[in-house]
Chains A and B, each alone.
Chain A
Amino acid sequence: MKVLKAIAVVWLALCLWLFLRHSEPAAPDNLPWMEVRPTISFSGDWLAFEVDPLAEAVFGRYPKKETEIALVDRSTNTVKRLSFPGISLHAPCLSGKGDQMVFEGAPGMDFLSDVYLADTETLQSRPLAPPQRKGGQGGAFVPTISSNGQIVSFLSYRYKTDPTRPWETTVTMGPPDRLENPFPPLVGRAAAPIALSPDGKRVAWESRMAEPTGKLRVRLFTASDKQQPRVLEQDAWEPSLSAEQLAFVQADKNGTYQIYLHDFISKQTRQLTRGNDDSFEPSISNDGKTLAFTSYATDLVQGKADSTSDIYLMNLEDKSVNCLTAGGDGNSYNPALSGDGSTVAFASLATNLQRPESLPRGQVYVWERGWQQCKAVPFRAGEL
């Protein structure tokens, strides 16, 4: 008995020692950079993007505090900050005039992710409720607003009749006060940001499905007020809509991601990029004449040798390509092209894009037609 007691005492002492060795709170250190997706109005006057208030620059690695949205009026040189206590704001999207902005906030009502509509002058915001919601399910993500500001679309989670399966993703869209899930379940299953045409009459989305055999099925759907949903392309994604065209991404025969353009009038699809590495994240102007995109390719323009991703601007009439971030020492990505095709905003981890200055990683840059180089966007109120 004494031996057992001694063993128990030693054991408990060991437990206590092991506990005390690990009693300090610890912090993570291996996290990805926050994904920032800027948005820009038709003429490039208004610009909005997510901000991590604790980051050295606009954003840092995975944010430790609630993120905010910086709204920049470039015509009056003012910066406004939109923040909700305890709620992280993401994915802003501006209307063409820049007078309205939709964005995502989480946790919102019922702790789920909500989509909000804001007036950019007054910053008055109101949540746009998805059609269905139940505890833990029914969140809404990555909203888009048409350039004319009349139609809003976002990805939401829809109730599924099988109670043992999670809710499925779907396209929610319509005027802000008459939102609905217009498409049947399997067709309307959206997996990524949804694209709206400038007038809001056409919509495109990527659907991802695992078939019972385990095979992946990716389809690019389009629908309009005149046409029922249909599969435009298999294995295609990241749609961006102009008035009559759709830019999207698809792998070429080598498996490299390239950008393609479908014309709804001629019903023709053509390949726009033929790079030696991935090109993606297309953003097309309202008139369909200009395209901004991200690419890792080193052969789209002469003189690029590094392995970082850059932002390119393509004139779709003559197919000329201009690299906006040449020589950048970090990835540049998520470009947003203004509706008139004159201005591009994007996120970047490069430090040397605003030469000769060296800026901390995690900035949002803007490039305007005629500029020789990009400029970092001030994001703190009073900086402009």
Chain B
Amino acid sequence: MQDKSAKKTLALLIGLYTFVFSTLTIVRHQRLGSGTFDLGIFDQALYLVARSDSSFLTSRGLHLNADHFHPILYLLAPAYLVWPSVNLLLILQSLILGLGAYPAYRLARHYRLEERWSLVVAAAYLVHPTVSFLNRFEFHPVCFMVPALMFSVLFLEEARPWPFSLSVVAALASTEAAGFTIIAMAVTALWVRDKRWFAGTFALGVLGIVAAKAWLGYFNQHQSSPYAILYTEYGKSEVEVALHMLTQPLDTLARLSTPVNWEYLFYLVGPLVFLPLLAPDRLLPAVPALLGNLLSWRESQHRVEYHYGAALTPFLLWAAVIGWDRLRRRGVKDKTMGGLLGLACLLSVIFGPLGFKHMSRLPEGATIANALSQVKPDEIAVVDNGLGAHFSQRENFYLFPNPFVVLAWGNTPQALIQQASSEYRPLSRGSVRRGMESTRFDAVVLPVDVDRMSPFPLRAGDSLVIRREVRRHLQPVGPVSGDAVVLRKKP
């Protein structure tokens, strides 16, 4: 196979991936499988940026730049001037993630793998659980980081400083945690390239951390980010956590050695036939993000089904390619490795988001056109989490039961605990009624069928109590048809 035809095949692969995952995520959204967290939040954020003067994200209770450092999201904003749509977000996310296959292919070629095996490496990237599940899980600007880091790895290997710097800046602009990854990458650059590369990369990483802190401090009005509380078992700040790990390594290791963590690690390296383990030096940049996940008490960070593996994939791929190269030097044939990786790709598809297990969990088709038509764009909507991303293009859109009672809202530690653990102060029926009387809203949108109900951020029992309370005081607008009901105040 020639490089030209291989590149055509690669383009076809990326196109197919984008088409399949765009379709999957759009269908999932249309069947009410998406949520306010996170698709509705970012849809509202882009809507506000492109089409409103308001900067306050009512779905989250903070400024649209206050939760995370992701200025790269603004790159999508002009598109919302033309086509403000959740579908656009989902398509762009699939495309952005798909584009990471190109540097993966080039990286394999850089290590003199044949075109066909380089294509297998690209395919392994596309179907890797951290990529495919990130794509399936709502939308998050952290998706930009995957191709950005993938390109930075490639440019580091190709010794192209300016494109490398640009891709590192893109990664830094995707999330506040990227700075730590880049600093770890600087250490790798020391032996992959030289001291100058180390110094430049290190400086970029530090700049990224400083910029993220300044940005979040400004938009949070100098309140600290609550995410440090995810590591309370080890310390109250990044420094305390690091000190704990350094001074009590055995204790840390013992705590990390849980079945859930081992399973998570298996899903990271298993789909790459454990090749990354042969190049631990290239895995170093993945360590900060990996520790960030393993040390966190938030359960979703220990599972590949969410977006928390974005900073891991490029380094897993890099290490896999190097691991392959090292095996080849020891006489293992490319055909053997390529066949095994191809088989792993197949298994990743079968057990991934496109496999039977996950496809069979896709909700049934849903009809909410009637409900959508009943809520005008300038109205204040209070919406169930599962319906949220359908009503998020408005200035005032709340995640039920906000604003009647304040839950998972704002950037306090308590809001984060409420999101992650569903722990909150008990809710009384009286407080819900008073909340409905004292806050402004025009419509409450809830699923008709309890099977479609998304209790988040409430516990299931509380969710049913609060819904019942709301329905006692509001009434449907006209006849209820479809899967969502719009409730308004009684005249």
Contact = CB atoms under 8 A, between A and B. Distances in A.
B288 interface: no
A139 B423 contact: yes
A90 B460 CA distance: 25
B53 A111 contact: no
A252 B400 CA distance: 27
A113 B421 CA distance: 13
B464 A22 contact: no
Contact of A135 (B233, B440, B451): B233
B212 interface: no
Contact of A32 (B77, B230, B439): B439
Contact of A14 (B55, B81, B427): B81
A278 interface: yes
Interface stretch (A23-31, A38-46, A75-83): A23-31
Interface stretch (B16-24, B31-39, B57-65, B367-375): B57-65
B478 interface: no
Interface in A45-62: 61-62
Nearest to A139: B423
B267 interface: no
B218 interface: yes
A111 B423 contact: no
A164 B299 contact: yes
Contact of B404 (A32, A107, A137, A166): A32
A116 interface: no
B232 A191 contact: no
Contacts of B218: 25
Given A26-B54, A280-B429, A294-B430, A32 B299 contact: no
Given A26-B55, A32-B404, A32-B438, A191 B78 contact: no
A134 B465 CA distance: 28
A210 B414 contact: no
Given A28-B61, A191-B426, A15 B74 contact: yes
Contacts of B75: 11, 15
B221 to A, nearest CB: 5
B49 A22 contact: yes
B200 to A, nearest CB: 23
Contacts of A16: 74
B55 A24 contact: yes
A103 interface: no
Given A113-B423, A137-B423, A163 B430 contact: no
B33 to A, nearest CB: 17
B426 A18 contact: no
A310 interface: no
Contacts of B420: 136
Interface string B464-481: 110010001000000000
Interface string A157-199: 1000001101101000000000000000000011111000000
Contacts of B40: none
A237 interface: yes
B485 interface: no
B427 to A, nearest CB: 8
A312 interface: no
B65 A22 contact: yes
A33 B406 CA distance: 10
A107 B177 CA distance: 24
Contact of A257 (B412, B429, B437, B440): B429
Contacts of B48: 22
B461 interface: yes
A119 interface: no
A18 B74 CA distance: 8
B434 A32 contact: yes
A85 interface: no
B229 interface: yes
B49 A141 contact: no
A214 B299 CA distance: 24
B462 interface: yes
Nearest to A142: B426
A113 B462 contact: no
B232 A32 contact: no
Contact of B414 (A113, A166, A217, A255): A113
Say which size band chain A's interface belongs to.
35 or more
A18 B45 CA distance: 12
B260 interface: yes
Given A22-B48, A106-B414, A136 B459 contact: no
A331 B437 contact: yes
B293 interface: no
B82 to A, nearest CB: 11
A28 B462 CA distance: 25
A136 B56 contact: no
Contacts of A14: 77-78, 81
B439 A111 contact: no
**A15, A164, A334 pick with most chain B CB within 10 angstroms:** A15
Contact of A163 (B71, B299, B414, B464): B299
Interface string B422-464: 1101111111011101111000000000110101000111111
Given A15-B74, A210-B464, A166 B421 contact: yes
Contact of A21 (B53, B412, B414, B430): B53
A121 interface: no
A72 B66 CA distance: 39
A110 B404 contact: no
B50 interface: yes
Contacts of A91: 425
**A31, A155, A278 pick with most chain B CB within 10 angstroms:** A31
Contact of B297 (A61, A135, A331): A135
Contact of A208 (B71, B219, B461): B461
A164 B435 CA distance: 32
B297 A137 contact: yes
Contacts of A371: none
A166 B459 contact: yes
A331 B434 contact: yes
Nearest to B81: A14
B298 interface: yes
Given A216-B464, A216-B465, A141 B81 contact: no
27 contacts: A14-B78, A19-B71, A25-B55, A25-B218, A26-B55, A26-B63, A30-B380, A31-B439, A32-B431, A32-B435, A62-B406, A91-B425, A107-B414, A107-B417, A112-B417, A135-B230, A135-B232, A136-B232, A137-B421, A141-B426, A142-B425, A164-B299, A166-B423, A208-B465, A214-B451, A280-B430, A333-B430
Given A32-B438, A216-B465, 12 more contacts: A11-B78, A15-B75, A18-B74, A25-B63, A27-B56, A30-B396, A32-B431, A32-B439, A35-B434, A136-B420, A157-B423, A192-B427
Interface of A: 11, 14-16, 18-19, 21-28, 30-33, 35, 61-62, 90-91, 104, 106-107, 110-113, 134-137, 139, 141-142, 155, 157, 163-164, 166-167, 169, 189-193, 207-210, 214-218, 237-238, 255, 257, 278, 280-281, 294, 296, 309, 331, 333-334, 349
Q: Which 3 pairs, one residue from A and one from B, show the smallest C-beta to C-beta distance? A: A135-B297, A208-B461, A214-B450
